[in-house]
Amino acid sequence: MSVPVRPKTLIKQLRPTLPTKYAPLTKDGNGLQSVYLAAIPVPMAGVLMQASPELGNTSKPVGFEIENAPVRRVEDQIEAAIRNDTTIDSTEKRELALARRGQGKFRQNLEQIEGGCRLTGVCDRRFLRASHIKPWRLCGTNHERLDGYNGLLLTPTFDHLFDKGYISFSDEGVILLSDRFPGAVQASLGLPAAQVTNAKAFTDAHKGYLAFHRSKVFLP
């Protein structure tokens, strides 16, 4: 069952994101009836998605998984908003679009920080994916979308598990396994003991993103 997100209950978080002209809401959180088809700024969309059980993964009933199609639709809408933003130059727009796919400047920034997969030790970039810690669609700023500290280099299997919330990391770099991660699959992948040996602590610049992943993406 869909759970509605009521902007009025989120107005403290939404208020700083409201545009000064043609805002879709009043500062009290009420709909602005005098405005027709008002645009929703990207930061405002991020607040709404974080509050959405379907898209922000903030509420996770048993068996719940994010479906790819709704996520792609939201990401397409954010990318369209970025393309239409006249305050961003064409080069940054291109890099933000590439960052959505783990490429471009985001990957370059990430590779300057991470030398390889923290779980398998693989360093050959041909076999690594650049994965956002705080998902691209939920980033509050474009800086977060391009920040190398908001990323990990992971082999494809672990990239998938991290993206879907079956694994996360402590600030000390130790892998965390979701209770919803089947034990048989864990054993097939050599988890958990074989992976802990590669653990190393994250920097302070990583920790805010990791806290977000543990609270909003990781499946309890």
The whole-number pLDDT of residue 216 equals 92
d(CA 131, CA 49): 19
Are 129 and 100 in contact by the 8 Å Cβ rule? The answer is no
The whole-number pLDDT of residue 65 equals 41
In the numeric block, the tokens 């990207």 are attached to 42
The whole-number pLDDT of residue 196 equals 55
The whole-number pLDDT of residue 95 equals 94
The pLDDT tens digits for 61-96 are: 333 344 467 778 888 888 888 888 889 999 999 999
The whole-number pLDDT of residue 37 equals 55
Helices (H), the chain: 11-14, 42-50, 68-83, 90-100, 104-111, 142-146, 156-164, 183-188, 193-196, 204-212
- Low-confidence stretches of the chain (pLDDT < 70) are 1-5, 20-22, 32-68, 193-198
Q: Kindly report the pTM of this predicted structure.
A: 0.68
The whole-number pLDDT of residue 126 equals 93
The whole-number pLDDT of residue 62 equals 37
Cα 64 to chain centroid, rounded: 17
